[in-house]
């Protein structure tokens, strides 16, 4: 399988190359050259299979020749047979006749990002061994990516990680899950500013010639294709349990960077019958506005009780615009350039029309989010996290509006464990969710992080000073 850039001018890469590159050299994001398609019979054949088997079958066409079938199956078996606390990996929980939760938080850091990042850590290790190279990961996190990425690579020989988080803007649990991991290859940086500031430093570093001369940079944000690929799996796994391909399913996805819900789009492209993908946003609703009115314009970030969705711009939306717009890299480059200049642009009619078939943007404010937490607790004793609650609130609204057939099950992605956001949960339902035993003594362990000023240079200099170096040890 070949991977091409959304901006049209970076060289095409194979799966191994796209996994190690992260962002394309022309500033675009990698996508497979075409979508692999499963027949109904192929989908039916996966019914009843274990998660790790569904994982390796769904990922196989994307991986192509980069791994043998046996290698891929072994990695899936290690990751999904070993790193999750539930043998179903991503179990479904029923809420009422039409609504279900897909619990994606049974990994080591209690959020859905573990599902893909545990896989990505193994892929990095395999590919870097093979190439005899090292990789320096620089990432920005609004909380959950950072902890999941650090847990996925801590202790690996060939990878080091610099993770930026906006100081004071991630929850205590999220921060401690990053800063209490002690490993010589892990560097936590707390910068002054917002998540978008941190993310823009990371983007700039990828384009900085000085940095690239010394370091072989890699990405763990959802700009990395391999992450999205690993997330396609649970759409299949859930839909199979409802009888796919013979029955449709709708999904409601708490959305920030548009990675998770884009994986749902990929599943649909591959032939999984998906009725609707509800793009659930909090009051930082650029996506809801873009999908509803075609107006894609950034506004300031409003902090909410769902910090992992507090973003101004969603990087993966570019992948959708590229695919819907006929995969015209030059046109998309122009569109994104005009967005960068004005912080605002219009979707084309073709892009809007294409999105309307599958996506529905729904927004939930703080009160609606709290009400969804209360509803789940009162009607079925489920304590859900605020991000999940945004998704559930959006699912209820979509059903109420008649946007989803009453006979179609609606699966809300439960993206985090409630204990990651105990204050907001306690305020809404009056119960403080306890951390599961598997996270251990999180609040007793010492924290390690470096606070830095908000300017780009401070971050760049820190990384250059503290990196063990990577280009030096290889010839590429
Ligand atoms: C990252 C995250 C999201 C948003 O996912 P995207 O792929 O960025 O859209 C939602 N909920 C939680 C708990 C998250 O950690």
Residue closest to 109 by CA, chosen among 444, 471, 417: 417
Three-state secondary-structure class, residue 278: strand
Round to whole Å and give the CA distance between 117 and 259.
Answer: 13
Q: Compute, in angstroms, the gap from residue 319 CA to the centroid of ligand 1.
A: 17
Instruction: Give the Å distance between the CA of 334 and the centre of ligand 1.
Output: 28
**Which residues have CB under 6 Å of ligand 1?**
111, 113, 144, 222, 254-260, 308-309, 387, 415-416
> What is the pLDDT, as a whole number, of residue 450?
96
What pLDDT does 469 receive? 61
pLDDT confidence of residue 124: 96
Q: What is the largest CA-CA distance in the chain?
A: 61
Quick one: tokens of 27?
């500033």
Identify the pLDDT of residue 472: 43
Q: How far does residue 112's CA lie from ligand 1's centre (Å)?
A: 8
Give yes or no for a contact between 278 and 265, defined as CB atoms under 8 angstroms apart: no
Strand partners, 164: 140, 189
How many angstroms separate the CA atoms of 452 and 299, rounded?
Answer: 25
| Residue 228 exposed, middle or buried by CB count within 10 Å (0-12, 13-18, 19+) | buried
CA of 419 from ligand 1 middle (Å) equals: 16
Ligand 1 atom nearest to 254, measured from its CA:
10
Of 108, 112, 235, 433, best ligand 1 pocket probe by most atoms within 8 Å of the beta carbon? 112
Measured from the Cα of 222, ligand 1's closest atom is: 7
Q: Which of 284, 310, 292, 294 is nearest to 344 (CA)?
A: 294
Q: Is 39 helix (H, G, I), strand (E, B) or coil?
A: coil
Beta strands in 265-418 (DSSP E): 274-281, 295-297, 344-346, 359-363, 410-414
Q: Measured in angstroms, how far is the CA atom of residue 257 from the centroid of ligand 1? A: 7
Supply the residue whose CA is at minimum distance from atom 2 of ligand 1. 308
Q: What is the pLDDT of residue 106?
A: 97
Total Cβ atoms within 10 A of residue 210: 10
State both tokens at 2.
């070949």
- Give the Å distance between the CA of 196 and the centre of ligand 1: 15
What are the residue numbers of the active site?
A: 113
Say which residues have a Cβ less than 8 Å from residue 463's Cβ, sequence separation at least 6: 136, 138, 162, 187, 205, 211, 215
**Residue 471: its pLDDT value, please?**
46
Residue of the CA atom closest to atom 14 of ligand 1 = 308
CA distances from 292 to 299, 309, 317 (A): 16, 18, 14
Pocket test for ligand 1, best of 146, 173, 256, 304 (most atoms within 8 A of CB): 256
pLDDT of residue 473: 41
Ligand 1 probe mutation, 260, 301, 384, most atoms within 8 A of CB: 260
Sole residue written with tokens 């894609």: 296
Minimal-distance CA residue to ligand 1 atom 15:
144
Is 7 exposed, middle or buried (CB count within 10 Å of its CB: 0-12, 13-18, 19+)? buried
> What is residue 364's predicted lDDT score, i.e. its pLDDT?
98
Cβ(323)–Cβ(35) under 8 Å?
no
Ranges of residues in the chain whose predicted pLDDT is under 50: 470-476
The tokens for 263 are: 């994986």
């Amino acid at each position: 399988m070949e991977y091409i850039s959304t901006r049209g001018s970076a060289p095409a890469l194979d799966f191994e190359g796209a996994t190690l590159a992260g962002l394309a050299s022309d500033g675009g994001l990698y996508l497979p050259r075409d979508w692999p398609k499963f027949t109904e019979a192929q989908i039916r054949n996966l019914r009843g299979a274990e998660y790790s088997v569904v994982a390796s079958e769904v990922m196989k066409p994307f991986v192509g020749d980069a791994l043998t079938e046996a290698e891929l199956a072994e990695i899936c078996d290690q990751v999904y047979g070993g790193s999750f606390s539930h043998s179903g990996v991503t179990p479904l929980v029923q809420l009422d006749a039409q609504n279900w939760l897909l619990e994606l938080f049974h990994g080591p850091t209690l959020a859905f990002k573990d599902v893909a990042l545990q896989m990505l850590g193994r892929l990095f290790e395999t590919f870097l061994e093979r190439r005899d190279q090292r990789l320096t990961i620089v990432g920005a996190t609004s909380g959950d990516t950072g902890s999941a990425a650090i847990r996925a690579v801590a202790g690996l020989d060939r990878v080091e990680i610099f993770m930026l988080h906006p100081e004071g803007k991630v929850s205590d649990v999220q921060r401690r899950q990053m800063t209490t991991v002690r490993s010589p290859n892990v560097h936590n940086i707390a910068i002054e500013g917002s998540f978008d500031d941190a993310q823009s430093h990371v983007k700039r570093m990828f384009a900085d010639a000085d940095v690239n001369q010394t370091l072989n940079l890699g990405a763990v944000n959802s700009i990395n294709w391999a992450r999205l690929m690993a997330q396609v799996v649970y759409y299949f796994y859930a839909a199979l349990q409802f009888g796919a391909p013979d029955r449709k399913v709708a999904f409601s996805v708490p959305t920030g960077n548009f990675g998770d819900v884009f994986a749902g789009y990929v599943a649909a492209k591959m032939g999984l019958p998906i009725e609707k993908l509800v793009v659930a946003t909090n009051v930082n609703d650029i996506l809801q506005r873009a999908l509803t009115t075609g107006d894609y314009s950034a506004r300031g970030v409003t902090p909410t009780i769902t910090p992992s969705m507090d973003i101004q711009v969603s990087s993966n939306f570019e992948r959708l615009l590229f695919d819907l717009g006929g995969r015209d890299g030059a046109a998309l480059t122009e569109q994104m350039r005009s967005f960068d200049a004005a912080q605002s642009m219009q979707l084309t009619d073709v892009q809007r029309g294409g999105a309307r078939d599958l996506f529905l943007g729904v927004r939930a404010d703080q009160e609606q989010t709290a009400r969804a937490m209360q509803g789940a607790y009162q009607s079925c004793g489920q304590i859900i996290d605020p991000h999940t609650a945004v998704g559930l609130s959006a699912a209820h609204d979509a059903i109420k509006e008649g946007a989803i057939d009453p006979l179609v099950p609606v699966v809300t992605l439960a993206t985090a464990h409630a204990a990651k956001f105990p204050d907001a949960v306690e305020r809404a339902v009056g119960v403080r969710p306890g951390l599961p035993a598997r996270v251990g003594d999180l609040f007793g362990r010492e924290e390690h992080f470096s606070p830095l000023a908000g300017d780009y240079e401070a971050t760049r200099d820190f990384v250059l000073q503290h990196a063990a170096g990577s280009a030096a040890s290889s010839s590429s």
